Chains A and B, each alone.
Chain A
Amino acid sequence: MSDAVAPRALPDRIPNRFRFWKRWETILFGVAVIIFIFDAFVSPHFLNPFSLSDATYNFTEQGIIAFAMALLIIAGEIDLSVASIVAIASVAMGAAATAGAQWPLLVVIALVVGAVAGAFNGFIVTYFRVPSIVVTIGTMSLYRGIAYVVLGDQVYRKYPAGFDYFGQGYVWWVFSFEFVLFLVLAVVFGIVLHRTVFGRRIYTIGNNPIAAQFSGVRVDRIRFLLFVLTGLMSGVASVLLTSRIASTRPTIATGYELQAVTMVVLGGVNILGGSGTIPGVVIAAFVMGLVTFGLGLINVPGIVQSVVIGTLLIGVIALPIVTARLFGRRRA
């Protein structure tokens, strides 16, 4: 791309009074508020704590995957196999549950399967030096293919008592377990990315892997760990989703990879790596949840909602670029 000709603008820490208002997160938060107000006007049922609580189910599972995906994309990689990892982990849980396993074992199985699937992605990417997009397009077919081979046209529906809490339980009042876990993980990922050495290294790798290597960052090890982490979070999402719908089909979580990537990119993470924040991804998750829930309230079918999400994705990214061009400023 021609971007490669000009040096890329690096994020800096120069204080600026207007900086806050120009930040991506601020713009996105404005969009979220507008959608919230719009939703409240179009449907009288929207401003009800219980319906708002229902709305969170639209994004928590994808959002949890998106946190790990954000780290991966900031490091300059991508994982398109996450939805298939959800499927394969769900199939493993279903098989174990049918054999009589209890819920603690099921959770362990899902997390282990997720981490192993992620580790396989990471191994192929780092050991053979193959672009992650190709590897994960391959494993996307492979993992979901295994789910099909195991399940065929069958369904697992026998899940033990207690397992339903993850996807259907409430911690307190209208706050579901899924939503609370989403918030907790948001804080954890935010701290890891923005307050630790490990987090800074992720940015370094994304901006310049060679310089990172020469600075003593163990690039491949961190890349590998990020793939394992993304697989692990897909395992977590698999527990939540399987528990919520209490069944496993090979088609489970279809399209989650696109929704997770959309959240990450909408959240201001540069798809080419090197910049982005967790708060941005959290707000993007809310934006997507509010949009789909609001459209659902006025009976817009799911497939048409995807038109809005797609337009939002392109529009939100194009808008600053187009306005900058209209006002005569040139972007670096």
Chain B
Amino acid sequence: MHVSRDLLLAAIIVVLLVAIATISPAFVAPGNLVTLFNDNAILIMVALGQMTVILTKCIDLSVGANVALTGVLVSLLNAHAPGVPIPLIMLLAAFIGLALGAFNGMLVWLVRIPPIVVTLGTLSIYRGLAFIASNGTSIVAKEMSPAFIAWPRFPIAGLPLMSWFAVVVVIVFAVLLRYTRIGRAFFATGGNPVAAVYTGINVGRTQFIAFCVSGTIAGFCGYLWASRYTIAYVDIAGGFELDVIAACVIGGVSISGGIGTVAGGVLGALFLGVVKNALPVIHVSPFWQLAISGAAILGAVVINAIRENRRPSRLILKEAVAAVTLSVTS
């Protein structure tokens, strides 16, 4: 069922591309498709991190703020110490992101505050810290070292390095979620937390790890964002968490946990990316973008719901019958 769902979304994207191509053939030229993918590399990566969190029945609203704070911090470091090698900066960005994600995860795991409350709080905190760190100023291109800007743009086999990062992240996630113990634990935790406990899975710890994964990717993308747009200030990636969650939802990731595929997450992100990049090409005001992405989210969840409801009985009735049977027998 999930495979066919992913195929459906892939087909929709292809139809969309064909439709756009009839108006503007240049849009589907290989060069433009590479640009399209590169433009959405960050969204794809962060969406996969978010998907991991959502799989465990949690949500991470702080990813946009994480990108901003990490982007500001590494840009400041680069501005003040241009000599620090870029791989080290990438590593540092990932570590800062990991720390921010781990903070979320600790509060969810050990203090047991609901994830939405935790990340609602840290969303404000991280962005505020980005303001304090940057003192309200922007770090612009001329303050960044040439290497800082050049690295993600470095082409390998016709694809910029940033796109390769996305490709690697996608492959790693595909393997991680399907073939590793922790990957299966993510699904088990969200699918049925009680059963997961009886299987010997530490639910809280699994959720903590998911937040660490999401934070690490967001942090790493903080550097990529600053480098890609050659600017870092408090408001970068504002509202990005909504794009990311939208990508997951359109990609068929169930917000109640346990359901989702890597292909779905990637396709969800690409769908948003195609719409976003195509609007100016087909002469539609970019102001339509937000409304379209909102309609796409609603369309995706409604289609999902209709497919679910086609099963013999509705879930709430099943649960109710089970509950009644239980109370009668005991």
- A, B bound: yes
Grouping DSSP codes into helix (H, G, I), strand (E, B) and loop, the B interface class, with mixed when no group exceeds half, is helix
Q: Residue B249 contacts which of A134, A144, A304 (CB distance < 8 angstroms)? A: A134
A5 interface contact, C-beta 8 A: yes
With beta carbons under 8 angstroms apart, the residue of A131, A141, A305, A313 that contacts B290 is A141
The reply to whether B124 and A149 form a contact with Cβ atoms under 8 Å apart is no
Is B289 interfacial (CB 8 A cutoff)?
Answer: yes
Say if the beta carbon of A307 comes within 8 Å of chain B.
yes
- What separation, in Å, do the CA atoms of A265 and B197 have in the docked complex? 28
Return the contact of A4 from the options B193, B207, B246 (Cβ within 8 A).
B193
Asked if residues A322 and B111 are in contact (CB atoms below 8 Å), the reply is: yes
B28: Cβ under 8 A from any A Cβ = no
B294 close to A310 (CB less than 8 A): no
B19 at the interface (CB under 8 A from A): no
A306 and B124 form a contact (CB under 8 A): yes
Closest to B298 in A: A138
CB of A314 within 8 A of CB of B118, answer yes
A144 near B114 with CB under 8 A, answer no
A210-B323 CB under 8 A given contacts A138-B301, A318-B107: yes
B114 near A271: Cβ-Cβ < 8 Å: yes
Is A140 a contact partner of B294 (Cβ separation < 8 A)? yes
CA distance A122 to B314 in the complex (A): 19
Would you give the shortest CB distance from A50 to chain B, in whole angstroms? 29
Stretch binding the partner chain, chosen from B42-50, B127-135, B153-161: B127-135
Q: Tell me if A214 is interfacial: C-beta within 8 Å of chain B.
A: yes
Check if B288 sits within 8 Å of A5, measured CB to CB. Answer: no
Closest to A214 in B: B320
Report which residue of A130, A138, A272 has the largest number of chain B beta carbons within 10 angstroms of its beta carbon.
A138
Question: Among B29-37, B166-174, B179-187, B302-310, which stretch is in contact with chain A?
Answer: B302-310
CA A142 to CA B256, docked complex, whole Å = 22
Given A3-B112, A138-B301, also A129-B291 (CB < 8 A): no
Question: Is residue B12 within 8 Å, beta carbon to beta carbon, of the partner chain?
Answer: no
- Interface size band for B: 35 or more
Contact between chains at B124 and A307 (CB < 8 Å): yes
Q: Are A321 and B290 in contact (CB under 8 A)?
A: no
Chain A residues with Cβ below 8 Å from B193 are: 1-2, 4-5
Q: A4 contacts B107, CB within 8 Å?
A: no
**Within the complex, what minimum Cβ distance (angstroms) separates B310 from chain A?**
12
In the complex, what residues of A have CB within 8 A of residue B111's CB?
A: 318, 321-322
B121 in contact with A148 (CB, 8 Å): no
Which A residues touch B123, using CB under 8 A?
A: 258, 310
- Over the window 199-213 of chain B, the binary record of Cβ atoms lying under 8 Å from chain A Cβ atoms (1 yes, 0 no) is 000011001000000
A133-B255, A214-B320, A265-B117 given as contacts; is B128 within 8 A of A310 (CB)?
Answer: yes
**Is the beta-carbon distance between B320 and A5 smaller than 8 angstroms?**
no
The CA-CA distance from A322 to B80 in the complex, in Å, is: 40
CA distance A213 to B320 in the complex (A): 9
Asked if B63 is at the interface of the complex by the 8 Å CB criterion, the answer is: no
Q: List 18 A-B contacts (CB under 8 A).
A: A78-B116, A129-B305, A129-B316, A130-B305, A134-B297, A138-B295, A141-B294, A144-B290, A145-B290, A209-B316, A210-B316, A258-B120, A271-B116, A307-B129, A307-B132, A310-B120, A313-B120, A314-B121
Which residues of B does A touch, CB under 8 Å?
57, 59, 107, 111-114, 116-118, 120-125, 127-129, 131-132, 136, 193-194, 197, 203-204, 207, 234, 242, 245-246, 249, 255-256, 285, 287-295, 297-298, 301-302, 304-306, 308-309, 314-316, 319-320, 323-324
Interface pairs A-B: 7 shortest CB-CB: A145-B291, A142-B294, A141-B294, A307-B128, A310-B124, A145-B290, A138-B297
Known: A131-B256, A138-B249, A144-B290. 7 other contacts (CB 8 A): A3-B112, A129-B305, A129-B308, A142-B291, A142-B298, A262-B121, A303-B136
